[in-house]
Amino acid sequence: MKNYLILLILGLFLFSCASPKREISRNIEQGNLKEAQEQLNLLFEEEGAKEDPEVWLLKADFYMFLFDSDVPEHQELADDPLSKAYDAINKAGELDETNIHLLEIQEKRFILSEQIFNLGLQHYERQDFPEASERFYRSFSISKQLETVDTMTLFNAALAAEQGNLTDDAQKYYKQLVEMKLDEPYIFLGLSNTFLKQRDKMAIDIEKYDAFMKAYEKRERIDSIFAQVESEREIKSILSYELDAHSDIVEYVVEEEPFKFEEEKIEEIGLKYENLTAKQSEVENEALKYIRKGREKYPDDIDLLFGEANFYLLTGKTKEARDVLDLAIERDPDNPSLHFAFGANYEKMAEDELLSEEEREMAFEEAVKAYEKAIELDDEYVDAYYNLGALYFNKGIEIFETAEEELRETRDFQQYQKAEEKIDEMWLKAQPYMEDAKELIEPEHPMYRAIITSLYQLYARTDQDEKQEEIQKIYEEMFGHPE
């Protein structure tokens, strides 16, 4: 009788402990999430509850159901419920030392992994790439806890990180995929791209330091520019020419005034410049290494061919780029992007002053043909229209600068007039391509400002008064009244 009473009391005690958990579980399943949350909060205040894996699994259930709920009021109960569910399941796993709840924990991890993956897809579709990458990687991490190899989820994490400019994360994930031997050519291309993005970031500082050192070397000339010229726009224009730097870099020079630096400061910048260029070279070697690894494994993959050509274009290796592009076009002759890349390659050669005049002229003509072919294959290829227009436009500027220099030396005005006719010819050839590019893009497009500026100058140069008046309205809205 005594033993029976002890068992009865023990049974009642266990029932009283289990009852709140069952009530919370029932409320969760029935969608009474507010009540379930209140009950959970009370339960966690009880002694020993925080050491009970079942309580943490209930908490995980609550947040997983909350994530799936369509009831608007439920969204106010907690932020980022899946992260909280993830932490709760991991806590349950830590406390379940005897593995009594192992199967339930594994089952919940599997369901949570699917939920987090789907949330990653939602972020990706909204182009919220950093958030998508984080969710995909968390889903992958859960799959590792389940001792499965979910390479495609890791690939999604890498791709989203790359598109979200999380270069270090993308690089780490792609390297993991290479080690896991996932059979996918883009992994090598993506990994190479992450190193090229690192290179691009370094390039800005390299150009800035280079401009600083040039400004210091020409400090007397630069100082006189600031003293004599009042217009900030004109100062920047002169500095761009003097320092052979882009307008963005000139902004740094105007702001920092490095021509006033002490010699020790310039020496420090020079050392940074040398270290950064050496680091950039290392990064370029890594980018090329992974492209070549990909090409070895997938010699016929057109994207890897294109990626290798693009690497050579970015690093100024025009001959190597041309060889790869020849092979790529032979395999995929109707790909407009390849012909565009071919045009960009020849355009770089046309600007290379180390080549002979004859070689540069040949490169110019080949660039024209390549851009025209890209447009023929894709009549809405904005970049091809713009590049071809800019190619003719810049050729006109080149002829103008040469004619000005020759006129100062020879005073041959008749020859100068012939050059002016050639300039107008080049700019009129540029006009239809610039106009087509303008019609194909929205004003928010980053290329739009350059197109408007070019057309404004072109119409003024070729005496197209009506068109100039029309474009001037847009020009003034973007840049203010021209000085």
Region 433-440 average pLDDT: 91
Distance CA 382, CA 391 (A): 14
What pLDDT shows up at residue 9? 39
Instruction: Convert the pLDDT of each residue in 388-435 to its tens digit.
Output: 999 998 888 888 877 777 767 777 777 777 778 888 889 899 999 999
CB 24 within 8 A of CB 43: yes
Closest Cα to residue 116, out of 142, 139, 91? 139
Q: How far apart are CA 174 and CA 142, in angstroms?
A: 18
Cα angle 435, 238, 242 (rounded to 5 degrees) comes to: 110
Q: pLDDT-based confidence at 104, cuts 50/70/90?
A: confident
Average pLDDT over every residue of 109-113: 86
Domain boundaries, the chain: 183-299
- Reply yes or no on whether the pLDDT at 70 is more than 90: no
Stated length of the chain: 483
State how far the alpha carbon of 457 is from the alpha carbons of 194, 400, 427, 464, in Å: 38, 13, 10, 10
pLDDT (mean) for 147-165: 89
Amino acid at 382: V
Low-confidence winner among 210-224, 226-240, 417-431, 461-475 (lowest mean pLDDT): 226-240
- In contact, 81 and 66? CB cutoff 8 Å: yes
The Cα–Cα gap between 101 and 92 comes to: 8
Q: Pick the more confident residue, 314 or 409.
A: 314
Point out the least confidently predicted range of 150-159, 276-285, 320-329, 433-442: 320-329
Q: Read off the tokens for 481.
A: 């009244």
The dihedral sign for the CA sequence 362, 363, 366, 367 = negative
pLDDT in tens, 117-133: 999 999 999 999 999 99
- Write down the pLDDT at residue 479: 61
Task: Report the b/e string of 303-331 with b at 16+ CB within 10 A.
Answer: ebbbbbbbbbbbbebbebbbebbeebbee
- Per the prediction, the chain carries an average pLDDT of 84
| Residue bearing the bigger pLDDT, 240 or 436 | 436
Q: pTM to 2 decimals? A: 0.65
For residue 285, count CB atoms less than 10 angstroms from its CB and return exposed for 0-12, middle for 13-18, buried for 19 or more: exposed
Q: Residue 64 above 50 pLDDT? A: yes
DSSP string, 203-270: HHHHHHHHHHHHHHHTHHHHHHHHHH---HHHHHHHHHHHHT--HHHHHHHHHH-GGG--HHHHHHHH
pLDDT-derived band at 15 (thresholds 50, 70, 90) equals very low
Q: Is the CA virtual torsion 124, 129, 131, 137 positive or negative?
A: positive
pLDDT value of residue 285 = 93
Which of 363, 421, 412, 368 shows the shortest CA–CA distance to 391? 368
Statement: residue 12 has pLDDT above 70: no
Q: How far apart are CA 123 and CA 168, in angstroms?
A: 20
Largest CA distance in the chain: 128
Residue 332 DSSP symbol: -
Q: Is the dihedral of CA 261, 263, 266, 272 positive or negative?
A: negative
Give CA 115 to chain center in angstroms. Answer: 27
Is a pLDDT exceeding 50 seen at residue 5? no
Q: How far is 441 from 21, CA to CA, in rounded Å?
A: 60
CA distance linking residue 309 with residue 464, whole number of Å: 40
Judged by DSSP in three states, 257 sits in: coil
Which class for 333: exposed (0-12), middle (13-18), buried (19 or more C-beta within 10 A)?
exposed
Count how many Cα atoms sit within 13 Å of the Cα of residue 121 in the half-sphere of its side chain.
Answer: 8
- Residue-level pLDDT at 420: 81
Identity of residue 410: T
What is the Cα–Cα distance from 73 to 34, expressed in whole angstroms? Answer: 9
Give residue 354's pLDDT: 66
User: What 3-state DSSP class applies to 446?
Assistant: coil
Q: What pLDDT is attached to residue 149?
A: 74
Q: Identify the band that residue 352 occupies on the pLDDT scale cut at 50, 70 and 90.
A: confident
List alpha helices for 30-70, DSSP H. 33-45, 53-68
Is the predicted pLDDT of residue 480 greater than 90, yes or no? Answer: no
Tokens 């960009």: give the residue: 344
Q: Is the pLDDT of residue 2 over 60?
A: no
Tell me the average pLDDT across 132-158. Answer: 88
Of 16-25, 265-274, 386-395, give the lowest mean pLDDT range. 16-25
